[in-house]
Every structure is written in C-alpha cells, then in structure tokens.
Structure 1
C-alpha cells in the first residue's frame, strides 16, 4: 500500500497506520477509522485517489442526511452568543 518511499512534505519515512478521520457534511459529522500512510517525522497523512473519492462520497451522504450506515454517538449543540457592551 505504500506508493511513497518518503514523505512528499518532509522526506521522512512513511508507514501504514490506522487513523481516525473527521468528516463534516451539512450539520452532520462522522468519524471514520481508516488505514493510510503516515510520516513518522512530520505526521503528514498520504491518501490514495480512491480514498479521497470515498471521502467525497461520505461528505455528500452527510450533507444529504444519508446516515443510516453510521452509528449515532451523541448529539452536538450550538449556542449563539451575544456580547452586551455597556
């Protein structure tokens, strides 16, 4: 799976590692665990084109609220704050 012998950013060694990737689409968020190449020196993640296409599909599903294949983990809240200046 390692198409890069060295990190394209810093030239460091890359290894295959499981990482968590956060996705946002519309008001929805998903966390996906994937295996990808990670630089041991700078931490840069290197994704294949197929993986990037899958990321785009995930974001589109989240935007369209097509979340049936995901497990609900909790809820998120937001609050508009207003600063009163006297």
Structure 2
C-alpha cells in the first residue's frame, strides 16, 4: 500500500516514474536515477524512506569527497 493515494500538496493523482535526482555534497555533485511517486498536477515527487536514506548516504560521501563510485555530472547551458 502506498503512503499517499493522492498528492499531499495539491490532491492530484500520483504515478510511479523513474526520475533523476541531482545530489550535492560540498563541491561535488551526483546524478541518481530512482523511482518516485510523481504528481500529475503539480509535479511534486515523493520518495520512499529507503531512497531518501540512500540520498543522505550519497551526500555524505560527496561531502567527504569519496567520489570514486560516482560518475561526474557535466552541466551545460543553452542560450535561448
């Protein structure tokens, strides 16, 4: 059973999707693909407790500069 049947912020419908989450720790950044419940109305993302714990572990490693297991993320900007 899901913790929420509807979005707790706007009441919209939630669907499970694979999303990308950008995590920052100190001067380092990691990009993780994870499953989340996403609101179709407002776009709010709801993560499982296990996923949030993993985010915190990754952020701590990034702060300690233990980045060998993570791929660097390149950021590019497009001028419109």
Matched position secondary structure for 1:58: helix
* Cα 1:5/1:74, change in 2 over 3 Å: closer
Superposed displacement of residue 41, structure 1: 0.4
Distance, in Å, in 1 between the alignment partners of 2:72 and 2:22 is 14
Give the aligned CA root-mean-square deviation in angstroms.
1.7
Distance, in Å, in 2 between the alignment partners of 1:17 and 1:2 is 14
Matched positions, count: 75
Number of the residue aligned with 1:47:
47
| Higher-Rg member (1/2) | 1
Preserved CA contact (<8 Å) 2:29 2:73 = no
Number of the residue aligned with 1:37:
37
* Cα 1:71/1:4, change in 2 over 3 Å: same
What TM-score do the two structures reach when normalised by structure 1? 0.78
Distance, in Å, in 1 between the alignment partners of 2:50 and 2:25 is 19
What TM-score do the two structures reach when normalised by structure 2? 0.84
Structure with more contact order per residue of length (Cα contacts < 8 Å, sep ≥ 6): 2
Distance, in Å, in 1 between the alignment partners of 2:63 and 2:42 is 32
Q: Gaps spanning 5+ residues in structure 2: where? A: 76-80
